[in-house]
């Protein structure tokens, strides 16, 4: 590459992030970064924060042996490069004083104001609270930081600056810690930087993570890139000259920059394509900065007339910006000697926004509509974080939702009214429904893509027109959790199911407790509020419902709870109205959150049954002769008597194995008899023929009860070509 192109690349690299030098004097790098955009009086306040931080961290050293103050000043330099405001720079200088010194937030607020204290508080870890394990503590730290960010995005901007400097000085830690911190950065911080439009920080973090997670691969690719510069010098120089000449011919005033792709992005492409470095041709890309929007498309036309575009490699992020506000035209061309050239075309404002992202709120004091739209999009994303938080208090679950929400690839779809929704790649119609509104998602029963009905698990694609059909009595299906991918959809579904499950378990627990009370001759109507309060207190529960749920899940034995009530109610007249009790729990046949029909024996009405309390799944119904129950026969406290409700209003699946003479038309004859017996065929399969005269047919049929099944089998036996019929209770 020629000196001009080479210097352009170096210039771009150096402009990306400041050289992080320590601030040992007022003439430091930090001062140089602050002077162009902050008034002197605010810089003076910032230096008061510096003096405070210097004094607080006095005597502290980093792992490298350097004075600790170098770290907060370096973080402040990165924040200053983003042109963050004075409270942000102060918070950057003070971000570790509460965590690592004797200083308190109250003291910070009294000296530097509530804004600074709020940001520092959002950045401080929860070291004084005990957690069950390290992963839970880390998840809680992330949640606290991100919820603080939802109130003030400056929290995460400074946190990203903090993480960037820590990553740049990671070599002083042990290899194990380097990998752990790098993986955490790759999973959380780098995607957040990308989501907020901080392109330079995102790329720097990606490269640093790659360097420490795969050190040998990183060194090999860096070495190969340096060697390739000489080999491809002629091609890059020729491309640069021809692009400039063609833009000049079309009278497009533009700056053209050649740039090398990041080592991490080259490695990703090698992994995706299963290619070696020598097979990756497009390690160079060109960025074209023009004056206005019209010139973007004019430049695109000029380049397409110069080199042939590669089909399917054009993206218009100007017409449909990315979720983080990014705008640009992307195209890939067949360059000189057949080498692919990746081109990005954008205006200067688009370029600045691509580099500054959400920080443009401070960087650009402008009425520009796109800046305002970017802020609104960011606020919507932060609002979604709050929605996820309020509907699920588990920190690890919140972190899982966040990781999903940071999925880098996106699709853009249209509502029936033409509104554009951006969702992670791989989203389904259910994800879209929850993106529209939580109530829409909860009541979805069907979906249409481009006016055609599709299954709810169908993945959506960019450009799809989507319409969801809702019904008021509908509710989320637990199976949706197997295919939805957005954090909002998962949290809403889980929240609804938890509420529904709790209601079912309360009813089941109450029924089980009543059956146990019968043995102690206690009438439930005689249990007063004071008795319940004493019982709840004895078991250290927060409510009656919580205790009943514990009984339903088998965590508390119903007989023991009933015995405890006898002690509490000692002196209360123990009378019993036999009509108010059931000897057994009645099973309606319809499964719910608390009652499940065992898949090992597939019970149907008429089968003798037992109920087994599973602490995680509720009450599981087995047949008396189920081989599985033998393992738990001695666990008497977890078995309860159950019976079928008369005439349950539903059909049950039964597996039938039918051995028939293998001749044409047999399947049709069997299906006809099943239909005539008022039964449905849910599934049918044929075992691989072994060359004999017989064939094994496996049917899943739907019947009302055991009597209905017996009638169906009698009718099937009338077919002379059937040799044997067996009901298969276990498929394992």
With a cut of 80, say whether residue 9 has pLDDT above it: no
Q: What is the pLDDT of residue 141?
A: 61
Cα–Cα dist 230/232, whole Å: 6
Q: What is the mean pLDDT of residues 538-556?
A: 79
Given a contact cutoff of 8 angstroms between Cβ atoms, the answer to whether 491 and 560 are in contact is no
pTM of the prediction?
A: 0.55
pLDDT band at residue 363 using 50, 70 and 90 as cut-offs: very low
Q: What is the pLDDT of residue 273?
A: 77
Any domain includes 322: yes
Looking at the fold, whether 40 and 182 belong to one and the same domain comes out as yes
Q: Mention every residue, 6+ apart, whose C-beta is less than 8 A from residue 636.
A: none
Cα–Cα dist 196/353, whole Å: 10
Q: What is the pLDDT of residue 205?
A: 94
At residue 131, the 3 state secondary structure works out as coil
Higher pLDDT pick, 379 / 86: 86
Cα–Cα dist 604/727, whole Å: 12
Angle at 300 (CA atoms; ends 198, 302), nearest 5 degrees: 145
* Placement of tokens 């992307």 in the chain: 330
Q: What is the pLDDT of residue 149?
A: 60
Looking at the fold, whether 523 and 508 belong to one and the same domain comes out as yes
With a cut of 80, say whether residue 6 has pLDDT above it: no
Q: What is the pLDDT of residue 691?
A: 63
Q: What is the pLDDT of residue 635?
A: 62
* Placement of tokens 């910070």 in the chain: 108
Q: What is the pLDDT of residue 406?
A: 55
Give burial (CB, 10 Å; 0-12/13-18/19+) of 410: middle
Given a contact cutoff of 8 angstroms between Cβ atoms, the answer to whether 291 and 347 are in contact is yes
Looking at the fold, whether 394 and 439 belong to one and the same domain comes out as yes
Higher pLDDT pick, 380 / 330: 330
Cα–Cα dist 302/236, whole Å: 18
Any domain includes 218: no
Q: What is the mean pLDDT of residues 696-716?
A: 90
pLDDT one-digit tens code per residue, 239-276: 888 999 999 999 999 999 887 788 888 888 888 778 88
Q: What is the pLDDT of residue 591?
A: 55
Higher pLDDT pick, 379 / 241: 241
pLDDT band at residue 572 using 50, 70 and 90 as cut-offs: very low
Closest CA relative to residue 324, chosen from 269, 406, 264? 406
E-strand spans in 602-712?
A: 609-614, 618-623, 639-644, 652-661, 680-686, 694-703
Tally the domains of the chain: 6
Residue 328 half-sphere exposure toward CB, CA atoms < 13 A? 21
pLDDT band at residue 306 using 50, 70 and 90 as cut-offs: very high
With a cut of 50, say whether residue 574 has pLDDT above it: no
Any domain includes 219: no
Residue 694 bridge partners (DSSP)? 661
Q: What is the pLDDT of residue 88?
A: 92
DSSP 186: I
Here the contacts of 642-647 (C-beta below 8 Å, separation 24 or greater) are: 642/584, 642/585, 642/586, 642/587, 642/609, 642/610, 642/611, 643/584, 643/585, 643/586, 643/587, 643/609, 644/586, 644/587, 644/589, 644/605, 644/606, 644/609, 644/705, 645/586, 645/587, 645/588, 645/589
Q: If you write DSSP's letter for every residue of 37-58 in order, what string do you get?
A: TS-HHHHHHHHHHHHHHHHHTT
Q: Mention every residue, 6+ apart, whose C-beta is less than 8 A from residue 282.
A: 261, 332, 339, 340, 341, 342
Range name among 187-191, 388-392, 481-485 with the lowest pLDDT average = 388-392
Any domain includes 197: yes
Question: What is the domain extent for residue 156?
Answer: 3-213
Higher pLDDT pick, 97 / 282: 97
Any domain includes 281: yes
Looking at the fold, whether 351 and 314 belong to one and the same domain comes out as yes
Sign, Cα dihedral of 209, 214, 219, 221:
negative
With a cut of 80, say whether residue 428 has pLDDT above it: yes
Residue 529 bridge partners (DSSP)? none
**Residue 48 in tokens:** 């008061």
Q: What is the pLDDT of residue 182?
A: 92
Give burial (CB, 10 Å; 0-12/13-18/19+) of 447: buried
Higher pLDDT pick, 178 / 135: 178
Q: What is the mean pLDDT of residues 505-510?
A: 79
DSSP strand pairing (340-347 vs 284-290):
parallel
Looking at the fold, whether 498 and 476 belong to one and the same domain comes out as no
Q: What is the pLDDT of residue 407?
A: 45
* Placement of tokens 């080498």 in the chain: 339
Helices (H) and strands (E) in the chain, counts: 29, 20
Cα–Cα dist 619/593, whole Å: 9
Q: If you write DSSP's letter for every residue of 213-274 in order, what string do you get?
A: HSHHHHHHHHHHHHHHHHHTHHHHHHHHHHHHHHHHHTT--EEEEEEEPPHHHHHHHHHHHT
Q: What is the pLDDT of residue 143?
A: 63
Cα–Cα dist 460/462, whole Å: 7
Rg (CA), the chain: 34
Higher pLDDT pick, 545 / 402: 545
At residue 147, the 3 state secondary structure works out as helix
Any domain includes 402: yes
At residue 581, the 3 state secondary structure works out as coil
- How far is the CA of 110 from the CAs of 59, 104, 105, 389, in angstroms? 24, 10, 9, 31
Cα–Cα dist 64/170, whole Å: 9
Q: Give the end of a domain, one of 193, 213, 233.
A: 213
Looking at the fold, whether 409 and 378 belong to one and the same domain comes out as yes
Looking at the fold, whether 421 and 512 belong to one and the same domain comes out as no
**Residue 71 in tokens:** 């770290």
Looking at the fold, whether 159 and 305 belong to one and the same domain comes out as no
Counting every residue written for the chain, the total comes to: 732
pLDDT one-digit tens code per residue, 446-502: 999 988 889 998 999 877 889 999 988 788 887 787 788 887 888 888 778 777 767
**Residue 242 in tokens:** 């021809």
Cα–Cα dist 449/452, whole Å: 5
Q: Mention every residue, 6+ apart, whose C-beta is less than 8 A from residue 353.
A: 197, 325, 326, 327, 360, 364, 370, 371, 374
- Sheet hosting strand 652-661, strand order edge to edge: 680-686, 694-703, 652-661, 722-728
Cα–Cα dist 267/111, whole Å: 48
Residue 618 bridge partners (DSSP)? 614
Given a contact cutoff of 8 angstroms between Cβ atoms, the answer to whether 655 and 700 are in contact is yes
pLDDT band at residue 397 using 50, 70 and 90 as cut-offs: low
Percent of the chain with pLDDT over 70: 76
With a cut of 50, say whether residue 576 has pLDDT above it: no
Given a contact cutoff of 8 angstroms between Cβ atoms, the answer to whether 480 and 501 are in contact is no
At residue 698, the 3 state secondary structure works out as strand
Higher pLDDT pick, 52 / 406: 52
Any domain includes 50: yes
Cα–Cα dist 79/93, whole Å: 10
Cα–Cα dist 180/214, whole Å: 12
pLDDT one-digit tens code per residue, 309-337: 988 888 898 888 876 678 899 998 888 77
Q: Give the end of a domain, one of 583, 605, 636.
A: 583
Range name among 14-28, 611-625, 664-678 with the lowest pLDDT average = 14-28
Enumerate the active-site residues: 99-100
Give burial (CB, 10 Å; 0-12/13-18/19+) of 647: exposed
At residue 356, the 3 state secondary structure works out as helix
Q: What is the mean pLDDT of residues 189-215?
A: 88
Looking at the fold, whether 360 and 461 belong to one and the same domain comes out as no
Percent of the chain with pLDDT over 90: 23
Looking at the fold, whether 678 and 716 belong to one and the same domain comes out as yes
pLDDT band at residue 116 using 50, 70 and 90 as cut-offs: very high
- How far is the CA of 532 from the CAs of 518, 520, 523, 548, in angstroms? 17, 17, 14, 11
Q: Give the end of a domain, one of 365, 392, 416.
A: 365
Q: What is the pLDDT of residue 617?
A: 62
Angle at 15 (CA atoms; ends 161, 410), nearest 5 degrees: 65
Higher pLDDT pick, 427 / 472: 427
**Residue 623 in tokens:** 């047949």
DSSP element (H, E) containing 434: helix 429-436
Cα–Cα dist 493/472, whole Å: 16
Q: Mention every residue, 6+ apart, whose C-beta is less than 8 A from residue 35.
A: 43
Residue 364 half-sphere exposure toward CB, CA atoms < 13 A? 22
Q: Mention every residue, 6+ apart, whose C-beta is less than 8 A from residue 424.
A: 404, 405, 407, 409, 410, 411, 431, 485, 486
Range name among 32-46, 136-150, 449-463, 491-505 with the lowest pLDDT average = 136-150
Highest mean pLDDT among 145-159, 315-329, 665-679: 665-679
CATH number for the domain that contains residue 329: 3.30.460.10
CATH number for the domain that contains residue 671: 3.30.70.260
pLDDT one-digit tens code per residue, 581-611: 334 566 655 555 456 788 888 888 888 888 8
CATH number for the domain that contains residue 421: 3.10.20.30
Looking at the fold, whether 576 and 593 belong to one and the same domain comes out as no
Looking at the fold, whether 278 and 181 belong to one and the same domain comes out as no
Any domain includes 433: yes
* Placement of tokens 């033409």 in the chain: 418
pLDDT band at residue 377 using 50, 70 and 90 as cut-offs: low
Cα–Cα dist 705/713, whole Å: 13
Higher pLDDT pick, 574 / 636: 636
Q: What is the pLDDT of residue 102?
A: 87
Q: What is the pLDDT of residue 303?
A: 94
């Amino acid at each position: 590459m020629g000196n001009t192109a080479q210097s352009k690349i170096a210039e771009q690299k150096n402009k990306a992030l400041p050289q992080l030098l320590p601030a040992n004097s007022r003439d430091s790098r930090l001062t140089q970064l602050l002077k162009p955009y902050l008034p002197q009086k605010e810089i003076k306040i910032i230096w008061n924060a510096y003096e405070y931080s210097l004094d607080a961290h006095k005597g502290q050293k980093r792992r490298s042996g350097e004075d600790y103050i170098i770290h907060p000043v370096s973080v402040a330099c990165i924040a200053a490069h983003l042109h963050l405001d004075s409270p942000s720079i102060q918070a950057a200088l003070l971000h570790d004083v509460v965590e690592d010194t004797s200083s308190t937030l109250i003291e910070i607020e009294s000296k530097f104001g509530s804004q600074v204290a709020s940001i520092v508080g959002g950045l401080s870890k929860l070291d004084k609270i005990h957690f069950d394990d390290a992963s839970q503590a880390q998840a809680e730290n992330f949640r606290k930081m991100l919820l603080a960010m939802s109130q003030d995005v400056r929290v995460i901007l400074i946190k990203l600056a903090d993480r960037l400097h820590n990553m740049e000085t990671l070599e002083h830690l042990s290899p194990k810690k380097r990998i752990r911190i790098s993986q955490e950065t790759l999973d959380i911080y780098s995607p957040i930087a990308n989501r907020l439009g901080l392109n330079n920080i995102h790329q720097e973090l990606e490269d640093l993570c790659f360097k420490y997670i795969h050190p040998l691969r990183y060194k090999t690719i860096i070495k190969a890139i340096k060697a390739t510069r000489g080999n491809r010098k002629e091609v890059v120089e020729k491309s640069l000259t021809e692009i400039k000449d063609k833009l000049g011919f079309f009278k497009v005033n533009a700056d053209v920059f050649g740039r090398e792709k990041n080592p991490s992005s080259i490695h990703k492409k090698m992994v995706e394509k299963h290619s070696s470095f020598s097979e990756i041709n497009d390690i160079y890309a060109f960025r074209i900065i023009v004056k206005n929007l019209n010139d973007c498309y004019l430049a695109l036309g000029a380049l397409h007339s110069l080199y042939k575009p590669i089909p399917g490699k054009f993206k218009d992020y100007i017409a449909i910006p990315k979720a983080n506000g990014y705008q640009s035209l992307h195209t890939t061309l067949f360059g000189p000697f057949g080498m692919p050239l990746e081109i990005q075309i954008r205006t200067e404002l688009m370029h600045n926004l691509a580099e500054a992202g959400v920080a443009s709120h401070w960087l650009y004091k402008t009425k520009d509509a796109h800046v305002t739209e970017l802020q609104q999009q960011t606020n919507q994303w932060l609002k979604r974080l709050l929605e996820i938080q309020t509907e699920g208090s588990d920190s690890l679950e919140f972190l899982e939702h966040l990781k999903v929400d940071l999925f880098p690839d996106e699709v853009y779809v249209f509502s029936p009214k033409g509104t554009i929704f951006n969702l992670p790649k791989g989203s389904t119609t259910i994800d879209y429904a929850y993106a529209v509104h939580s109530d829409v998602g909860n009541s979805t029963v069907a979906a249409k893509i481009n006016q055609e009905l599709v299954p709810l698990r169908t993945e959506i694609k960019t450009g799809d027109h989507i319409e969801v059909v809702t019904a008021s009595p509908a509710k989320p299906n637990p199976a949706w959790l197997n295919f939805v991918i957005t954090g909002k959809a998962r949290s809403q579904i889980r929240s609804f199911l938890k509420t529904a499950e709790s209601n079912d378990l309360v009813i089941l627990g109450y029924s089980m407790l009543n059956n146990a009370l019968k043995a102690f001759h206690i009438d439930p109507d005689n249990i007063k509020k004071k008795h319940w309060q004493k019982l709840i207190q004895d078991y250290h529960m927060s409510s009656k419902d919580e205790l009943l749920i514990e009984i339903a899940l088998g965590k508390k034995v119903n007989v023991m709870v009933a015995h405890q009530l006898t002690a509490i109610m000692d002196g209360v007249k123990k009378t019993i109205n036999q009509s108010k009790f059931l000897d057994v729990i009645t099973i309606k046949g319809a499964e719910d959150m608390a009652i499940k029909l065992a898949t090992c024996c597939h019970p149907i009405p008429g089968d003798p049954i037992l109920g087994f309390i599973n602490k995680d799944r509720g009450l599981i119904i087995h047949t008396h002769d189920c081989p599985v129950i033998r393992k738990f026969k001695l666990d008497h406290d977890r078995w309860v008597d159950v019976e079928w409700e008369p005439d349950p209003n539903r059909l049950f699946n039964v597996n039938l194995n039918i051995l028939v003479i293998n001749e044409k038309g047999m399947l049709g004859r069997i299906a006809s008899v099943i239909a005539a017996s008022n039964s449905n065929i849910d599934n049918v399969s044929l075992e691989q023929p072994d060359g004999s005269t017989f064939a094994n047919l496996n049917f899943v049929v739907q019947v009302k009860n055991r009597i209905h099944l017996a009638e169906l089998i009698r009718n099937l036996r009338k077919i002379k070509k059937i040799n044997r019929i067996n009901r298969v209770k276990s498929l394992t």
